[in-house]
Chain A
């Protein structure tokens, strides 16, 4: 069992820089949780505190009933005693060691007998499909292979919890997709609690069972990918998740703003590009077409209503060109409503 609790976790760096600000999070056994947010939001710091590489300023980290870090209670469990595996963004493969030596190092530190070392290394290498690379050095490996070795090095230690710090960000687009599938496969096979740090919302959406969206050290929303996408808790989450980004309609876009029925004190509307149709609906507007961007399977259309730009996304080829006028429409329930502090209005 490994249920992780973060209770009121705070990390302050010298110079009163608060990287993580009262973070509460519970990660259930076997979940794949992504910490998602822009750079500087405290997601990596949170991961490093979990790993024991940073000491929280206040608050607690628990696994099941055991406290790992708590300054108040004077407890700090050393990184190697936490039984957590960590993969770094840079992979941090030791350049002076071969692939085999890289994987064996941790086992050696834990005095695992030679024969068992051999067995475990062989098994993780075959699971990650890097058998045959034992004698290579990291500079002789491709980016994807380095990534697999870093994962193998972590997995050979049979950690209870896997911590991954933006492991895919250094890969090219094709490899990234391949490794994403690989990570999902491994998680489904081993069913180990995994915490994954990323700034890529697509990665978080496709891999996670749950996403924790962070900004400025604070948790914005914690939920399943679909909850995050369909019911963003606030304007930040709505804007951060989704590509092309959600259309944000403020009172300055008077024609648009006032044509949507309000309930309560709405100060901003959000409309996902795929909710904007061409034709008629509850809500219909005259628009001019500014640009059409075909991506292959679909078309992203930039239209302009009363000189306010909106993005639409459609899988049917538009029957008009740039400069034409058209009608755009949406259903009233497709609009997300936010109050003046950016919070979602149900």
Chain B
């Protein structure tokens, strides 16, 4: 090989340019820093700032210039005539709902995990997979199913199936706290199930065996060895569920609004809808604070849990305990959970789309008109789903918007991972990782609103995005960044620097290294990194509720429109379509990765 070692460049700048052409990681890092600061920090800060700055519409009332610093909004939220409606009552309700959901899901999740991981319950592998499905469906599907089953005469639209069968339901059962807690519990328990299942599997059998050898009884082993080892998983799942419910919106919106049962998420929605940017900023700050609290406690416990990481020998191969006659109650529990969390809701939704009047099981009541009818007499101007131009347009919008958002998310996540690995010790990598995690802490409803206010008008080089798909694409792409960045960083960390450096030594240019080495090796992970945000995007409702404009509806917002009009069958039909799309994609994902489901679950 001819040797060409002629160093011709002498100045520092020229030398720097040589290095950059050779390895443009620094340029990528710089671009990422600018883009993320602008798209993540910008909206969050503007939202928070609106809580302490006089808004234009309040300037005259407060007697201050717009933009002046003020505590008026903080006072309005925490100590004014309306603060009990705006904040305190929703806060109490949020806590009541969150803690009830937490207790419920942890109990269900723990018992299920025990039965399906530690006993010889028949068919436990398949059942474990089935248990995850409720979590994949959008959480508000369950709310909709609840309404389909138990809606009473209080609000418009067709009645629930129960009333159609002749039952008369009280408001407290149809709407408010009870159904919110039940539906959220049945959509979130898989989170606890997965964390407990994982923890139970990783408890080294030798730990228990050594307790048995020194003469501990079965109950003593459970109480003194196994449960303490599960404590971190308990904490972790509890806090994740808490963080989820504190910021939840879809379910309380559907089930709480009819009886004015407001939680923090819906209260924030109300302030934004009424154009009260100030109080909205303050409420956002409170929800972020609660989220940060939950996550830091979680981080603390995860770090504590490291103490429990034991030297893994040949562990993990526990002999499942024999259930014996207990198999009957265990079976009732397992299949009961499947019935309530999966079969009943989906059946109710599907059933409602093929019946004219709810709860009437006569042959002439069944129809496919809501799916394929040319026109539906009850709903003037609305043909059946597959012929409905609104639905088809919404589907097309969902498809292109979510695809673009998923690609943005996946690409950014990959590059963040790349910079993290190449610059593992630098502050830039740390800054990027922290920024990319931030959307996780911001209540989605506030994030969407922030994008609306920030990018509805022309900002610097970015033109007004209002009414274009790009506003939704950007908001979505950034909102799912935490999971995409985590996937990307994990993949890049696993790959390490060496394969790329080996190519560098061989003389491959940066472009060649990326296209011939890095991308081909990480193909599968990169596909996962795009499909995961795609799934989240297909079921996204909260983020887009303010961003979707008439003519730019997504499938999810189309569901809300139909609910508002009382077109229950059409709404449910669209939901069924969404669930089918998500289920198919999830299966594709599982095919690709083998474990895609569980790895993406904490994100969802």
A residues whose Cβ falls under 8 Å from a Cβ of B = 13-15, 51-53, 55, 63, 66-68, 73-86, 88-90, 92-96, 105-106, 109-110, 153, 157-160
Chain B residues in 8 Å Cβ range of A106: 503, 505-508
Of the stretches B1-9, B132-140, B275-283, B402-410, the one at the interface is: B1-9
Interface size classification for chain B: 20 to 34
Task: Please indicate which of the listed interface residues B502, B512, B516 has the most CB atoms of chain A within 10 Å of its own CB.
Answer: B502
Closest residue of chain B to A80, judged by CB?
A: B507
Given A14-B425, A95-B521, decide whether A84 and B505 contact each other with a Cβ distance below 8 A. Answer: yes
Given A73-B10, A81-B5, A83-B3, decide whether A53 and B501 contact each other with a Cβ distance below 8 A. Answer: yes
The 5 closest A-B pairs by CB, nearest first: A106-B506, A80-B507, A92-B498, A92-B502, A75-B7
Cα of A88 to Cα of B506 in the assembled complex, Å: 13
Task: Please indicate which of the listed interface residues A51, A106, A158 has the most CB atoms of chain B within 10 Å of its own CB.
Answer: A106
Interface residues of B in 494-538 (CB under 8 A from A): 496, 498-499, 501-508, 512, 516-517, 520-521, 523
Given contacts A74-B15, A75-B15, A94-B503, 13 further A-B contacts (CB under 8 A): A77-B5, A79-B504, A88-B502, A89-B498, A90-B498, A94-B499, A94-B517, A94-B520, A94-B521, A96-B520, A105-B508, A109-B503, A159-B1
Q: Are B10 and A75 in contact (CB under 8 A)?
A: yes
Q: Are A67 and B7 in contact (CB under 8 A)?
A: yes
Q: Are A80 and B505 in contact (CB under 8 A)?
A: yes
Chain A residues in 8 Å Cβ range of B496: 90, 92
Chain B residues in 8 Å Cβ range of A76: 7, 15, 18-19
Given A79-B504, A88-B502, decide whether A14 and B12 contact each other with a Cβ distance below 8 A. Answer: no
Cα of A84 to Cα of B507 in the assembled complex, Å: 11
Interface residues of B in 1-35 (CB under 8 A from A): 1, 3-5, 7, 9-12, 14-15, 18-19, 22
Chain B residues in 8 Å Cβ range of A153: 502, 506
Given A78-B18, A84-B505, decide whether A92 and B516 contact each other with a Cβ distance below 8 A. Answer: no
Chain B residues in 8 Å Cβ range of A80: 504-508
Given A14-B426, A15-B425, A55-B19, decide whether A83 and B5 contact each other with a Cβ distance below 8 A. Answer: yes
Task: Please indicate which of the listed interface residues B5, B10, B516 has the most CB atoms of chain A within 10 Å of its own CB.
Answer: B5
Chain B residues in 8 Å Cβ range of A86: 501-502, 505
Cα of A4 to Cα of B1 in the assembled complex, Å: 19
> What would be 17 A-B contacts, judged by CB atoms less than 8 Å apart?
A63-B5, A74-B10, A75-B7, A79-B501, A79-B505, A80-B506, A80-B507, A81-B5, A81-B507, A83-B3, A86-B502, A88-B502, A94-B502, A96-B520, A105-B506, A106-B503, A109-B503
Cα of A67 to Cα of B498 in the assembled complex, Å: 25
Chain B residues in 8 Å Cβ range of A94: 499, 502-503, 517, 520-521
Chain B residues in 8 Å Cβ range of A13: 425
Closest residue of chain A to B502, judged by CB?
A: A92
Q: Are B5 and A82 in contact (CB under 8 A)?
A: yes
Number of residue pairs A-B, CB distance < 8 angstroms: 104
B residues whose Cβ falls under 8 Å from a Cβ of A = 1, 3-5, 7, 9-12, 14-15, 18-19, 22, 425-427, 496, 498-499, 501-508, 512, 516-517, 520-521, 523
Cα of A293 to Cα of B4 in the assembled complex, Å: 56
Minimal beta-carbon separation of B493 from chain A (angstroms): 13
Chain B residues in 8 Å Cβ range of A158: 1
Chain A residues in 8 Å Cβ range of B11: 74
Q: Are A109 and B512 in contact (CB under 8 A)?
A: yes
Chain A residues in 8 Å Cβ range of B1: 83, 110, 157-159
Chain A residues in 8 Å Cβ range of B14: 74
Cα of A94 to Cα of B14 in the assembled complex, Å: 33
Given A14-B427, A90-B498, decide whether A109 and B506 contact each other with a Cβ distance below 8 A. Answer: yes
Minimal beta-carbon separation of A48 from chain B (angstroms): 8
Interface of A is mostly: loop
Closest residue of chain A to B8, judged by CB?
A: A75
Cα of A83 to Cα of B1 in the assembled complex, Å: 8
Q: Which of A63, A85, A92, A157 contacts B499 (CB 8 A)?
A: A92
Q: Are B499 and A78 in contact (CB under 8 A)?
A: no
Minimal beta-carbon separation of B594 from chain A (angstroms): 15
Minimal beta-carbon separation of A338 from chain B (angstroms): 36
Closest residue of chain B to A87, judged by CB?
A: B502
Minimal beta-carbon separation of A64 from chain B (angstroms): 9
Q: Which of A53, A55, A93 contacts B504 (CB 8 A)?
A: A53
Q: Are A51 and B7 in contact (CB under 8 A)?
A: no
Chain A residues in 8 Å Cβ range of B4: 81
Minimal beta-carbon separation of A294 from chain B (angstroms): 28
Cα of A55 to Cα of B517 in the assembled complex, Å: 23
Chain A residues in 8 Å Cβ range of B22: 78
Chain B residues in 8 Å Cβ range of A75: 7, 9-10, 15
Minimal beta-carbon separation of A45 from chain B (angstroms): 12
Chain B residues in 8 Å Cβ range of A89: 498
Q: Are B508 and A74 in contact (CB under 8 A)?
A: no
Cα of A345 to Cα of B353 in the assembled complex, Å: 94
Q: Are A105 and B15 in contact (CB under 8 A)?
A: no
Cα of A92 to Cα of B505 in the assembled complex, Å: 12
Q: Which of B427, B501, B517, B523 contacts A88 (CB 8 A)?
A: B501
Minimal beta-carbon separation of A149 from chain B (angstroms): 12
Chain A residues in 8 Å Cβ range of B5: 63, 66, 68, 77, 81-83
Cα of A84 to Cα of B5 in the assembled complex, Å: 11
Minimal beta-carbon separation of B522 from chain A (angstroms): 9
Q: Are A85 and B508 in contact (CB under 8 A)?
A: no
Q: Which of A52, A88, A105 contacts B498 (CB 8 A)?
A: A88
Minimal beta-carbon separation of B297 from chain A (angstroms): 28
Chain A residues in 8 Å Cβ range of B9: 74-75
Closest residue of chain A to B10, judged by CB?
A: A74
Cα of A89 to Cα of B507 in the assembled complex, Å: 20
Cα of A179 to Cα of B7 in the assembled complex, Å: 37
Given A77-B5, A77-B7, decide whether A92 and B426 contact each other with a Cβ distance below 8 A. Answer: no
Chain B residues in 8 Å Cβ range of A157: 1, 506
Closest residue of chain A to B517, judged by CB?
A: A94
Closest residue of chain B to A15, judged by CB?
A: B425
Closest residue of chain A to B7, judged by CB?
A: A75
Task: Please indicate which of the listed interface residues A78, A82, A105, A159 has the most CB atoms of chain B within 10 Å of its own CB.
Answer: A78
Cα of A52 to Cα of B23 in the assembled complex, Å: 12
Chain B residues in 8 Å Cβ range of A74: 9-12, 14-15
Minimal beta-carbon separation of A105 from chain B (angstroms): 6
Cα of A257 to Cα of B19 in the assembled complex, Å: 57
Minimal beta-carbon separation of B95 from chain A (angstroms): 42
Closest residue of chain B to A86, judged by CB?
A: B505
Minimal beta-carbon separation of A19 from chain B (angstroms): 11
Closest residue of chain B to A165, judged by CB?
A: B498
Cα of A14 to Cα of B499 in the assembled complex, Å: 24
